[in-house]
Structure 1
Amino acid sequence: MALDEAYHLCKEAGLKRIVLLFLVKGSFGSSDIAIFLGPQVTKALSKGEAVDLDDGIRLEFNIPKNISKYENYQVVLAAYLTDKDIDIVDSIGNVSTIVFLPWLEVDGKRWLST
């Protein structure tokens, strides 16, 4: 649902880039998100390749420690991030939309309160 939301927000705004932020690269391949995306897409994302979704929208993968607060990220799908990592996402200067998929409901409530 979170990826679908990010995609539709991107499409509605006329944007072309979704950046999937995951806590650590090493565990991404065995995550439920990777299972949903499938092995081919997961492998491409893990290798740093962008994946075309549809309508010219591409999905990229990154981790919070590699984020530059000065780059234009358009739509960020932040999945299972810690409080510290979601604070990094909040510090990005050029982001149109953030979709946060918390591991625990309490994490999402904390972020919404800010």
Structure 2
Amino acid sequence: MIDQFFWDKFNKRKDKWGGTTIAVRSRFATEIIKAVRNALGEDFPIKLRLSQWKQQDYIAKLAKSPEKMEQWLLPLSEAGVDIFHCSQRRFWEPGFENSNLDFAGWAKKKLRPNHRISVG
């Protein structure tokens, strides 16, 4: 369910949980992460598995550039995610054009020091 809030194709809401940018559509996940962090404390690791592709559409991407990816993931990182489990169809393929980094590699480059896992 959280994933559907990220996608503009699915999230057509007009309230604070919807919006035209990935940063705004990430608010639902950010609030959940903050609540979990507040309830369980700083010592409890929070892992978030996410993908910017859809199983039914490998062409679809939530973030079409490293800058858009940062707008999407930075609020989640700041809310308290300790581990990003970055899923993509093929882990050896670059996350963006003209790049040699995959999704997890870009997450490592753009986010605060936390852990990344790559799967694909």
TM-score category (smaller protein): 0.3 to 0.5
Say which structure, 1 or 2, has more relative contact order (CA 8 Å, 6+ apart). Answer: 1
What TM-score, normalized to structure 1?
A: 0.36
* Larger Rg, first or second structure (1 or 2): 2
User: Which protein is richer in strand relative to its size?
Assistant: 1
